[in-house]
Amino acid sequence: MGKPTILVTGANGQLGRELNVLADAYPAYHFIFADRAALSVDDRQQVDAFFATHQPAWCLNCAAYTAVDKAESDQEAAFRINGDSPGWLAAACRRHGAKLVHISTDYVFDGRSSTPLKESDPTSPINVYGASKLAGEQKAMNDHPDGTVIIRTAWVYSEFGNNFVKTMIRLMKERPVLKVVDDQIGSPTYAADLAAAILRIVGSPRFVPGIYHYSNEGRISWYQFALAIRDRIGSACNVQPIPSSEFPTPAKRPQYSLLDKALIRDTYQLIIPGWETSLSACMARLD
């Protein structure tokens, strides 16, 4: 028998690329990194054909429609990619005896909590993206309940793609003053840490299906995150706190996104880095 195959969908995104960075450290597996051109997850026939050809033992679904504001006026695509395709991937995994790790978001919550969000807390998305991701969670769990792990994460950044950290670094070089929202609370997630957590689940002797929460440890606002980025690049940019009401966007954002990570930590014996350590690690790779 050959090595078990791990299929990574959406391989050109932040998380997909961080998994690619780590893959060499997992020689017991054969990885297939499929970007959108290789496998469009919102084409059910393509999904089924891909599984029939490659017979993966695991599917790590990093593909998603992540343009949160655009989703407000592009509901159909958001729901097809985020809502329907996780169900198709889950069904394909079930038929082929594979396991699915699907990634979801804190945006399934309305942000009105004042205590860290647990997996069992009631969901109530306040934008199209969140609603589409919640639909995807439900379809994946319905189609393959015994073989699916869903990880809700938040505020993802990495050295790859577009994200808050890279945008802040660029703007701090361009502008003398920067206003950043100070009334949205959460904890960022370095995609490299999430990738490592996912591979820990893959390698775990005990697979426990279900929904889990993962971000880095700590509790900050976007403004505080921006200050930490500024400190690390030694910028003189004047970073000022503003309320969300001064930064209107097409999609509403939850005010409170802090995830309770106890379940994933205990079930899969994870050590989750604090956001400051991980921010430094990412920024060292950006140099």
Ligand X SMILES: NC(=O)c1ccc[n+]([C@@H]2O[C@H](COP(=O)([O-])OP(=O)(O)OC[C@H]3O[C@@H](n4cnc5c(N)ncnc54)[C@H](OP(=O)(O)O)[C@@H]3O)[C@@H](O)[C@H]2O)c1
95 membership: H or E segment, kind and range:
helix 85-95
Closer CB to ligand X, 15 or 196, in the complex: 15
Signed CA dihedral, 79, 80, 85, 87: sign only: positive
Q: How far is the CB of 254 from ligand X (least distance, A)?
A: 11
E strand segments, the chain: 5-9, 30-34, 58-61, 99-105, 148-153, 156-157, 177-181, 185-186, 189-190, 210-213, 220-221, 238-242
Which is closer to ligand X, CB of 87 or CB of 234?
A: 87
Q: What is the DSSP letter of 17?
A: H
**Cβ at position 208, least distance to ligand X in Å:** 20
Contact 287, 182 (CB under 8 A): no
Q: Identify how many contiguous H helices and E strands the chain contains and give both numbers.
A: 11, 12
Nearest distance from C-beta of residue 134 to ligand X, angstroms: 11
Q: Closest approach of Cβ 166 to ligand X, in Å?
A: 12
Which one of 107, 129, 157, 223 is the catalytic residue? 129
- Reply yes or no on whether 129 is catalytic: yes
Q: Please say which residue, 104 or 268, places its beta carbon nearer to ligand X.
A: 104
Q: Could you identify the residue written with the tokens 């440890």? A: 217
> What's the min distance (Å) between Cβ of 1 and ligand X?
29
**Residues 174 and 212: beta-carbon distance below 8 Å:** no
Q: Which is nearer to ligand X, 1 or 7 (CB)?
A: 7
- Name the residue nearer to ligand X (CB basis): 161 or 209: 161
The type of residue at 231 is D
Give 176-244 as a DSSP string. SEEEEE-S-EE--EEHHHHHHHHHHHHH-SS---EEEE---BS-EEHHHHHHHHHHHHT---EEEEE-G
Q: Interface residues with ligand X (CB under 6 A)?
A: 9-10, 12-15, 36, 40-42, 62-66, 81, 103, 105, 133, 153-156, 161
Show which residues are catalytic. 129
